[in-house]
Amino acid sequence: MLAKRIIPCLDIKDGTTVKGINFVNFRDAGDPVTLGAEYSRMGADELVYLDITASHEGRKTFTELVKRVAARINIPFTVGGGINELSDVETLLNAGADKVSVNSAALRRPGLIDEIAHNFGSQVCVVAIDANRETAGWTCYLNGGRIPTGRCLFDWAEEAEKRGAGEILFTSMTHDGVKEGYANEALAQLAERLHIPVIASGGAGTAAHFYDAFTLGKADAALAASVFHFGEIEIPALKRELKSGGIDIRI
């Protein structure tokens, strides 16, 4: 069994780190390079940087920021937002990113996943899925949670895996920023249906929520933002608590 991972997520808007609730009502959380360096020092296993308005605004992702992050941290990091073609992936990897995250572009053109996996390897391709729990089930959304697609979370995750995705990053829009726990039932269903790692996102508020994501949700990694950005949970203390609870995690 691979060790479970703790992954701070830095949502970037206009060059700064922000955090919202249910994908709206953003507030400033600080400089993305400084925060990333601090998380690296504190023992985070990986980082995720998401340019949250790139797809909506039709822009490319922040290459210069990626170079500055790569110069300051010594853990793997994933970059997403505005990645639409192979040249975007190559640019970001050359800038220092270890993986790329594709979301809206992959839903619009699923063949992008095949192309990334074929050219750079599945380990580079993280497929991020923003989904909302609705009466008909879990529905995938485009453009940072703005546009419903009608696609089922579980069907799309399975297709992404078949096309070559190396990981699934599932963010529950229902739970995002609410701090009442992750979408553990949906996570467990994903874990049961997939053979690749699942990263839980949306809902972390306490150390117990991370524990539940790993045990009840069977997630391989847990991603969080505001609890780290605003000092509500310290990564070293979180890891010690999880370790003492029997979770296999790097201290």
Token pair for 65: 């920021």
The residue to which tokens 């979408």 are assigned: 183
Q: Which long-range contacts (CB under 8 A, 24 or more apart) does 136-141 make?
A: 138/186, 140/107, 141/173
Is residue 88 part of the annotated active site? The answer reads no
Maximum separation of any 2 CA atoms in the chain, in Å? 46
Q: Which long-range contacts (CB under 8 A, 24 or more apart) does 64-67 make?
A: 64/95, 65/12, 65/15, 65/32, 65/33, 66/92, 66/95, 66/96, 66/97, 67/95, 67/96
Q: From the CB of residue 118, how many other CB atoms can be counted at a distance below 10 Å?
A: 13
- Separation of alpha carbons 53 and 42, rounded Å: 28
Catalytic residue of the set 45, 51, 88, 130: 130
Is residue 11 part of the annotated active site? The answer reads yes
> If DSSP codes are grouped into helix, strand and coil, which group holds residue 206?
coil
Give the DSSP per-residue string, 36-59.
HHHHHHHT-S-EEEEETTHHHHT-
160 Cβ contact partners less than 8 Å away, ≥ 6 residues apart: 106, 110, 113, 127, 129, 168
- Separation of alpha carbons 165 and 163, rounded Å: 6
Q: What residues act catalytically?
A: 11, 130
